Amino acid sequence: MTVTPKAAGRLALLGLLGGIFQLTTVSQVAIFGVPADLSPLLVASVGFLTGSISGAIFGFSLGLFVDTVLMQTLGVNSLVLTAVGYGAGRVRELRDPAHTLAPVIVGAAATAAATVGFSLLQFLLGVDAPVSFSLLRAILMTVVLNTLLALPVYAVCRRVLLPYLPDDPRRRRRRAYTTGGLSPLSRA
């Protein structure tokens, strides 16, 4: 996807509103004992829809925003979400999955990578917290919860970015059989 200024504006608005919604609402509601984390879902959805470069930039920006607003160590979320956005974009560019549930799998994988990566970085930074059963349980429950939310979040992101997106993957897949073409993201 070619990121025009208008598309960039929409992405920024999506990140800002998504981040605020996460911080003011989602983080304060615990289901299964843990709150959902929309950040990796947003980043993965954007990466999956727009490609690895914009996914990585979006992830970096959203991570920086979260770290800044929450007065956390700057760079931790940026680093993790950059990797998540880049990875989700590369999945789209390399595999171009057309299955309806592909965003769910990508969302679950992104959440798992983000939570595990964030925990690893915290340990590397010397945060004194033992690897306990409750930590592993929290990570697992966050992944489960985010998996349930992956499709709605993806739908919202797609709706917001729809005017700037290339063809629908399923239509493109049908065309790829006849033309042998790759994903438009790869051709771009």
Partner 1 sequence: MSDKVVRRRRAVLAVLVLFSLFLLTAYFGESSGGSLHSVQRGAMEVFAPIQEGANRALKPFRDLFGWFGDTLDAKDEKERLEAERNALRRQVVDVTLENRQLRQIEGLQEQNTERGLDGYDPVQARVIARSPSSWFQSFQINKGTSDGVRVDQPVVNDAGLVGKVKEVSDGNAVIMLLTDPEFGVSAQALESGEPGSVGPAVGDAGDLRFELVPNAKEVRRGERIVTAGTSTSAEVSELSSLYPRGILIGTVSRIETGEGELDRVIHVEPVADLRSLDLVEVLTQPDANVRAQAP
Q: How far apart are CA 83 and CA 44, in angstroms?
A: 10
Least distance to partner 1, CB of residue 135, Å: 19
Q: Which two tokens stand for residue 157?
A: 């992101």
Q: How far apart are CA 123 and CA 108, in angstroms?
A: 23
Do the beta carbons of residue 1 and residue 51 sit within 8 Å?
A: yes
- Span near partner 1 by CB under 8 A; candidates 25-33, 106-114, 133-141, 157-165: 25-33
> Of the candidates 39, 45, 78, 146, which one interacts with partner 1 according to CB under 8 A?
78
The letter for the amino acid at 48 is F
Do the beta carbons of residue 122 and residue 138 sit within 8 Å?
A: no
- Span near partner 1 by CB under 8 A; candidates 75-83, 128-136, 155-163, 164-172: 75-83
- Span near partner 1 by CB under 8 A; candidates 57-65, 97-105, 108-116, 173-181: 57-65
Q: Report 110-139 residues binding partner 1 (CB under 8 A).
A: 125
Do the beta carbons of residue 65 and residue 50 sit within 8 Å?
A: no
> Of the candidates 3, 8, 12, 23, which one interacts with partner 1 according to CB under 8 A?
23
Q: How far apart are CA 151 and CA 12, in angstroms?
A: 21
> Of the candidates 52, 115, 119, 142, which one interacts with partner 1 according to CB under 8 A?
52
Chain centroid to Cα 176, Å, comes to 26
Least distance to partner 1, CB of residue 83, Å: 8
| Residue 151 CB neighbour total at 10 angstroms | 16
Residue 15, interface with partner 1 (CB under 8 A)?
no
Least distance to partner 1, CB of residue 60, Å: 5
Reported as type and span, the H/E element at residue 31 is: strand 30-31
Binding residues for partner 1, per CB under 8 A? 20-21, 23-26, 28-33, 52-53, 56-57, 60, 63-64, 67-69, 71, 73-76, 78-79, 82-83, 86, 125, 182, 186-188
